[in-house]
Amino acid sequence: MSASVSIGVAAERSGVSPRMVRHYEGLGLLPPVTRTESGYRQYTEADVHTLRFIRRARDLGFSMDEIAELVGLWHDRGRASASVKRIAQQHLGELEQRIAALQSMHRTLSHLVHCCQGDHRPDCPILDDLAR
């Protein structure tokens, strides 16, 4: 990759849309980028690498606040890995709570679907449950 690339190329190489590149830049997840004389943003290899980092963190479901903290820790070579682990453990706990809630919803809905006759009669345990 050359010294700098346009937003479209940076987006393509990182797997992030140009709109999201601008958004992440606006949030301060990227350092201020240089601009050409005509005002076009120019991104470095390091910027593209950071965008890939952000995309991967988003794929794992980290919040933007968590990602901001992780990016800061990633760039801080003096960081303690315990700080990173704390963020990941907290996120893992939140994921486990969401999974448990989804499993509970699944069990309830499966039971209601099983109990509903699905015939021409108007009585329906699904609607009865929702109306409770």
Domain 1-62: which CATH number of 1.10.1660.10, 3.10.180.10, 3.30.200.20, 3.40.50.2000: 1.10.1660.10
Average confidence (pLDDT) over 100-112: 97
Q: Using alpha carbons, list the distances in angstroms from residue 19 to 22, 24, 87.
A: 5, 9, 27
Domain ranges of the chain: 1-62, 80-132
Q: Using alpha carbons, list the distances in angstroms from residue 7 to 32, 87, 90, 102.
A: 13, 30, 33, 38
Average pLDDT, the chain: 94
Number of Cβ within 10 Å of residue 79's Cβ equals 12
Per-residue confidence band for 3, with pLDDT thresholds at 50, 70 and 90: confident
Average confidence (pLDDT) over 88-116: 97
User: In the chain, pLDDT over 70 holds for what percent of residues?
Assistant: 98
Q: What is the pLDDT of residues 27-82, one digit of tens each?
A: 999 998 999 999 999 999 999 999 999 999 999 999 999 999 999 999 999 999 99
- Confidence at residue 2, expressed as pLDDT on a 0 to 100 scale: 53
